[in-house]
Amino acid sequence: MAVDASKWLSALRTKELQDKIKTAKVLCVGAGGIGCELLKTLVCTGFRNIEVVDLDTIEVSNLNRQFLFRKHHVGQSKAIIAAQVVKGFCPTASITAHHANMKESRFDVDFFRGFDLVLNGLDNLEARRHVNRLCLAAERPLVESGTAGYLGQVTVHLKGRTECFECHPKPTPKSFPICTLRNTPDRPIHTIVWAKDLLFNRLFGRPDAVSDLDDQARREDAKNASASANEGEAGVSGAAAVAAAAAAASNGPAEDPSFFLRRDGESSLEYAARVFERVYTWDIEQLCGVKELWEKRAPPKPIRIGELLPDTERAAMQAALEAAIAKGHGSASRALGLNNASQKWTPSQNAAVLLLAIAMYHDMRKEEVGSASFDKDDDLAVDFVTAASNLRSSCYGIPEQSLFDAKGMAGNIIHAIATTNAIISGLIVIEALKILAGCHDVVRNTFLNEFPPSKRLLLVQNPEPPSKTCMVCGKVTLSLKINTETATLSSLLSGVIKKRLAVNTPNLLCGGFLYEEGEGLEDDEVEAYTAMLSRTLASLPGGGLRHGSILTVQDQSQHFGVDVIIVHTEGLNEEEAPEGFVLEGDVPTAPPQEQEQDQHRQPQAQVVAAAVAAIAMMATTTPTKTRQTTAEVKEEDGVLILDEDEEEEVQGDPAALAATEVPSRKRELGEGEEVTQPQAKRPRLNAAVAIVEAVDGEDDDVILIDDD
């Protein structure tokens, strides 16, 4: 990419660029840490036509770095207040605010086509991917950004010229196997996730609420049941036997969910003490009885409430509860005089905070019991999670955490710094000016370093060209390893389609199977599609989704489409696939371990054979490097760090196979054939995605996400 610095610098002083700045229509997505600084910098640079979209409301914790907001703004819309404040010091600016979700249908491709620039200041990966796809569909330039503490980045994405935001894998939130959380935690994050997602929901959440951990638990229990059934016939592996024994130990008589309900005539503190004895004494003693779990590690030690809180101290808890109610305390720790959030509590203090937090929920916020959800800005919820996780950590010999550290881990908080946001917003505007000036050859990706190499605070790189293996701006076929006999359509949609692929309103098509979401569906269609959700993939209409099936995934709102090859896989490792599946970006060139075939699998097997043959035909082409999703997310001081991706040589051109024309899998019903699903009543979006030219290059990007 040629550098033409003289053209860029001379363009800055031209009246033509100044006029473009005044008339350009700019879309700012996000009005938080970066968004506030960006709006200020834009109007100070001369931009006058701006629209800003943000769903969030202002919180007290925002005020130390989002300087457009004041204390009296707390609880109001970030987008609306930011627009009002900026227009207050720049009355000539036209700023339209939308307090809305960027994924709403009104923010479609036509909406994006109405802008000259799209500038992102978002705080989550899902929304970033959605905006990236709409910018590609509308052919509008996107300037992406993110900050984390002293670190920051600005990247430029131009369709057909540079890589898009999704050309390289991004780190996803870390998942933990349910068996580790329930039986063998060995890190502070394990006990915090257990306290937040398991114990908190069990005591205060909706009884019918289903989380990712519930899905994992069902898969694990099903596997353990299968292992127990086969034990008498052919025996089970050591790991399966251990898992089955641990499940049996943790599902004793007291596992009845009604045990965790408060009984008639039981005081709130008596109820809290009963929960304590169950969780930290009875449960731990049962796990200690599973000798196989502790062959290579020390067993946990049960703790008893009488040892931590003698009768005299427990009697004083009633007085503390009454004082908290009288004074309207919202925090159990502060009600006990524990005001230093950075100081770790003793085991006795953890027990006192836990009991008081449970009692305060039942006596002061009893209308929330049965419907509460964890909120990092809820002091009482954070008190409960901190105390509960620290007590569990003491059982397992894991280091306890302070209230401040536990809140950051439970809320996935990456602490932001105002000066970092200011620097990044300035860099965003510089790249926006280059785009408006037509100097596309000099746009740059810029990274802000905490410990700069060679005393250079900013690391500047040329944007990479588009990747032809990208599932969004290129054309690539994904492969999904999943147990089609146990996984349901509901879990496929929530875990793979919507979560991992960030699809907003999915349309799924495979042979005689069709599933749709979105506007325009009739009542009978919605009813029929809803009835499919509980069915396993293998039992879906049209022969089901089985080994070798090619599932076409489309999203009309994003103008996005991708093909997914189903690879039926049994016995997925919980450590490697805690979500119950493995999604890979390359077409598998070798068949999986042979499994029992039946008559329903023959057509799909032929499709896979054709794909393998196509790869073999390309074996004489030049080897190319493709990236595998082998990144590991590590935690250091609250900052997520993405390890450098590994590369391996792959023969052939993966995009060429994806571009090969695939025959239509729609078919007409034969005479007398039963209709197993509603007929399509709307035109389908063509799944084809344009292939763009790509060259090899190193990827040093680190995804840094602002916590606003």
| pLDDT tens digits for range 571-582 | 887 777 888 888
Helix (H, G, I), strand (E, B) or coil at 437: coil
Q: What is the CA radius of gyration of the chain?
A: 28
- What pLDDT score does 173 carry? 64
Q: Which of 48-57, 290-299, 578-587 shows the lowest mean pLDDT across its residues?
A: 578-587
| Reported confidence tier of residue 680, pLDDT bands at 50, 70, 90 | very low
Cβ burial, residue 706 (10 Å; 0-12/13-18/19+): buried
pLDDT for 6 equals: 65
Smallest CA-to-CA distance from 84 within 63, 93, 57 is with: 93
* Lowest mean pLDDT, pick from 100-114, 284-298, 313-327, 600-614: 600-614
| Least confident stretch, 23-37, 119-133, 209-223, 490-504 | 209-223
Q: What pLDDT does residue 11 have?
A: 83
Q: What is the pLDDT of residue 642?
A: 34
pLDDT band with cut points at 50, 70 and 90 for residue 234: very low
* pLDDT score recorded for residue 662: 37
> Cα separation of 143 and 154, whole Å?
7
Average the pLDDT over 88-107 and give the result.
94
pLDDT at 218: 53
Q: Is 229 helix (H, G, I), strand (E, B) or coil?
A: helix
176 vs 444, more confident: 444
**How high is the mean pLDDT of the chain?**
78
Query: What is the set of active-site residues?
Result: 179
Half-sphere exposure of 497 (CA within 13 A, CB side): 26
Binding site members for ATP: 30-35, 54, 62-65, 78, 123-128
Nearest-angstrom CA–CA distance, 256 and 265: 20
Q: Is the pLDDT of residue 231 over 70?
A: no
pLDDT, one tens digit per residue, over 317-352 is 888 999 999 988 889 999 999 999 999 999 999 999
Instruction: State the pLDDT at residue 620.
Output: 30
Other Cβ atoms closer than 10 A to 462: 15
State the pLDDT confidence band at 245, using cuts at 50, 70 and 90.
Answer: low
pLDDT for 471 beyond 50:
yes
Vertex 463: Cα angle to 461 and 467 (nearest 5) = 135
Q: Is 438 left (phi over 0), alpha (psi -120 to 50) or beta?
A: left
Mean pLDDT for the stretch of residues 522-548: 90
- Sign for the CA dihedral angle at 528, 531, 533, 538 comes to negative
Q: Which two tokens stand for residue 146?
A: 């993110």
Q: How confident is the model at residue 399 (pLDDT cuts 50, 70, 90)?
A: very high
Minimum mean pLDDT among 50-59, 427-436, 438-447, 544-553: which range?
544-553
Average pLDDT of the residues in 112-138:
92
What local confidence, expressed as pLDDT, does residue 602 receive? 38
pTM of the full predicted structure? 0.64
pLDDT at 145: 95
The answer, yes or no, to whether residue 288 has pLDDT greater than 80, is yes
* Mean pLDDT in residue range 460-469: 90
At 659, is the pLDDT very low, low, confident or very high (cuts 50, 70, 90)? Answer: very low
For residue 222, pLDDT over 70 is answered with no
**Predicted local confidence at residue 483, as pLDDT:** 92
Using alpha carbons, list the distances in angstroms from residue 193 to 175, 285, 380, 413, 689. 10, 21, 17, 14, 39
DSSP string for residues in 399-421: PP--HHHHHHHHTT---B-HHHH
68-94: average pLDDT: 95
Q: Which domains does the chain have, with CATH numbers?
A: 188-397 (1.10.10.520), 476-591 (3.10.290.20), 601-705 (no CATH)
